[in-house]
Structure 1
Amino acid sequence: MKTDLAALETRLQRLERTNRLLLLIGACTLIIGAAVSTRQPEVIQASAVQLLDPAGQVVAELAIRDRNPGLYLTDAKGKTRLALFHSDDATGLYINDEDEVTRIGVAQFAHGGGGVALHGPESRGAAVLYFKQSGSLRFFDADGEVTSAVSAQPQPPDD
């Protein structure tokens, strides 16, 4: 009877040791599995990424607007104040006033020209510096009429 009891106790100890080992292996497997699943992806894909302030208001957005990619910064009223974009026609940077009217624009156009435009209130009146083969500076009144222009044409060399 004592031999049966001793054998049973030995068997129980072996079983408990095996259970502890299996528990340890299971815990390690879970930890390793969790570590593998938290790897950072090399590419994040989304149709838009929004940066929010502490109140949850969108202050910046990397998004597709009118089928063109861009980065857009907004003010506290949700108005776009800065737009950096690329389209088939141009790559540009627009700085807008509180009414979302472009006041400063910088662009490189698909046809090769580029320029800087400073616009008056409500985009009425402007100073536009443009360059493609040669440069020009034009001033526009509130009705869009050219009031003054300077064109940089190549000058023949002096003999």
Structure 2
Amino acid sequence: MRQMSLFDWTPPPPARVRPPRRDEAERTMMAALHERPDPVRVYRQSISHGFESCALRWWWVSRSDLGRMISQGRALTVGERSAKVRRTLTLAEEEEVVAVALELGGCLYAAEALGVTEGIVRTILRERGVDYPRAPGGRHDAAAGRARLAAFKATRRTA
């Protein structure tokens, strides 16, 4: 065995730094690049250039989401529903749906109270630009929501 001098020593190699995973980097980059467009902007472009130009401009957004954004933008800009809507509800009934949903504090409660589907309630609220009322999820809160629904149905029967 040979005697080592101080000059023979070399430091250990530096610790290897883990590069960021590709999917993490892509996810943060995609989130930064592909923001959700403003519904009013989508609506205005659909009016001036058509739906296909919106689909090409915001290619990462699904067609159904673009349609929803256009209806939201129309509600925010014009304040009324599209002429193409095929619903049996009148405008007064739609206003009642919005009022009942906000009064009872939930889409499902409003749907049960008025005898329509929850999807119609959500669609009407979205078209009007109203956020969905979210009932708290606790057991006591759910009981209070059912009590509000029962009271609403009782007042509706007597009226």
TM-score range, shorter chain: under 0.3
Greater C-alpha Rg: 1
**So what's the TM-score if we normalise by structure 2?**
0.21
Richer in strand (by share): 1
